[in-house]
Amino acid sequence: MSGKRGNGEGSIYPYKNGYAAYVWVTKPDGKRARKYAYGKTRDEVHGKWIKLHTEAKKGPVATSTPTLAAYLARWLKEVVEPDLKPKTAETYGMHVRLYLVPGLGAKRLDKLTVRDVRTWVNTLLEECQCCAQGKDARRDTSRCCAAGDCCGQVPSRRTVQDARAVLRSALTNAMTEELITKNVAGLVKVRSGRKVKRKPWSVEEARRFLEAARSAGDPLYPAYVLILVLGFRRGEVLGLTWENVDLDAGEVTVQLQLQRIRRRLVHDETKTEASSATLPLPRICVTALQLRKKEQEAAKQTAGELWSDSDFVFTTRYGTPIEPRNFNRAFTGRTTQAGVRVIRLHDTRHTCGSLLAALDVHPRIAMQILRHSKIAVTMEVYTHVPSEATRKALRKLGKHLGRQAP
């Protein structure tokens, strides 16, 4: 084929071992620039040149495309962190760091295919993360994987689903910015794994736990009461302030939570509006908080100048916030000492409804406490009524606590 340019091909020219072409396009930022295409033959480049012209007529065209790793870093900084809750942003960053960048980060954003994502998903479902992340190699004493004995620590299907969801969200934003035209992550599905059935405490087990904590004089006993009777989450109980407690009216407002995010404690509003509410306090909760206030005043007097003033209801002996992980450890330790079956701290929320029924709390009030939208849901929980002996024991526990409070 001669080197003469064809009609309308003024932008196609010989380049190195083939040909090159360019088209003037408008970039996403509104500026004009050249977009280049390369190929070994004139016909190949001509086809790409025609395609560039078509894209330029449709709208803005990016003249350079980053790798997925570079794009995800910018997406986290400019989109995720400003728009989402700190804990959610931290979770997104974790999935990007541990799963997306190692598996797909080197791919160019516009060259990422459905097959790439499917291969990544299949590999992730079978790859030991202890090996992939070099966990043992960073320890002082190597074991399992670093010692040549793979532990097979593969991520769960739920984790893989979450990682794919983060990628899909990132690519959706890339489409909004007109960097790509198709979200390949949305075309790849991950079969859901079976949910692990949790077995929360019965009312009798919860009563034994509370009685053991109260008998031992555990300073976190009032926190355990709020978790079991009102269904507080860990962050909600640790982030509770006296400003949001009205003992005279018998009400507590849930609107803040305490979490450790990126190595610092963050005291922020709850994740959703549904999580925030003003709840009526059953008598056992009122007396527990009265007791907590008395104990906190005594601790302040003992600490003297070492006391750190804060409005938190639950603090260390020096007035500082309680570390969330330490609260988990304290709960597990108290459970073991009480001789009660060990469960996750979060599973105590499922015991809440049955405890309210045992404490003779009216279903309408329980509906408000449990934050149910329909009374039928609350009444279904209330069908699991404990024995009369257990009900009497719980009421007795509340009365005993009331005598301890000021």
- Interatomic CA distance for residues 61 and 315, integer angstroms: 56
The 10s digit of each residue's pLDDT in 143-192 is 677 777 777 788 889 999 999 999 999 999 999 887 888 899 999 988 88
Side-chain-facing half-sphere of 318: CA atoms under 13 Å: 5
Looking at beta carbons, which pairs linking 337-342 to residues 24 or more positions away fall under 8 Å?
Answer: 337/212, 337/216, 338/208, 338/209, 338/211, 338/212, 338/213, 339/208, 339/212, 340/201, 340/205, 340/208, 340/209, 340/212, 341/201, 341/205
Question: CA of 109: how far to CAs of 26, 72, 174, 179, in Å?
Answer: 19, 10, 9, 8
Among 125-134, 271-280, 316-325, the minimum mean pLDDT is found in 271-280
> What three-state secondary structure class fits 215?
helix
Mean pLDDT for 90-119 is 94
Average pLDDT over the chain reads 83
Which of 22, 62, 60 has its CA nearest to residue 38?
22
Tally of helices (H runs) and strands (E runs) in the chain: 17, 8
Mean pLDDT for 82-108 is 93
Among 86-95, 132-141, 147-156, 280-289, the minimum mean pLDDT is found in 132-141
The 10s digit of each residue's pLDDT in 189-217 is 888 877 777 788 888 888 899 999 999 99
Question: Does residue 69 contact residue 101 with C-beta atoms inside 8 Å?
Answer: yes
Q: With residue 21 as reference, give the H or E element that holds it.
A: strand 18-26
Question: CA of 233: how far to CAs of 3, 108, 393, in Å?
Answer: 74, 42, 25
Q: Are strands 245-246 and 251-254 parallel, antiparallel or unpaired?
A: antiparallel
Q: Tell me if domain 68-187 and domain 203-404 are identical in fold.
A: no
For the ranges 50-59, 136-145, 165-174, 277-286, the one whose mean pLDDT is highest: 165-174
Among 202-206, 283-287, 335-339, the minimum mean pLDDT is found in 202-206
From first CA to last CA, the distance across the chain in angstroms is: 100
Q: With residue 49 as reference, give the H or E element that holds it.
A: helix 42-58
Among 96-110, 148-162, 365-379, the minimum mean pLDDT is found in 365-379
Domain ranges of the chain: 12-58, 68-187, 203-404
3-state secondary structure 368-401: HHHCCCCHHHHHHHHCCCCCHHHHHHHHHHHHHH
Residues 6+ apart with CB under 8 A from 259: 86, 87, 235, 239, 265, 266, 268, 324
Is pLDDT above 70 for 397?
no
Find the Cα–Cα–Cα–Cα dihedral 102, 106, 109, 115, rounded to 10°: -70
In eight-state DSSP terms, residue 260 is E
In eight-state DSSP terms, residue 192 is P
Is pLDDT above 80 for 354?
no
Under CATH, which number does the domain 203-404 receive?
1.10.443.10
> What three-state secondary structure class fits 360?
coil
Is pLDDT above 60 for 385?
no
Under CATH, which number does the domain 68-187 receive?
1.10.150.130
Side-chain-facing half-sphere of 42: CA atoms under 13 Å: 14
What percent of the chain stands above pLDDT 70? 82
The 10s digit of each residue's pLDDT in 3-45 is 454 444 447 888 888 899 888 888 777 788 888 888 889 888 8
The 10s digit of each residue's pLDDT in 235-275 is 999 999 999 999 999 999 988 899 998 888 888 887 666 66
Among 57-66, 122-131, 184-193, the minimum mean pLDDT is found in 57-66
Residue 404: what pLDDT? 43
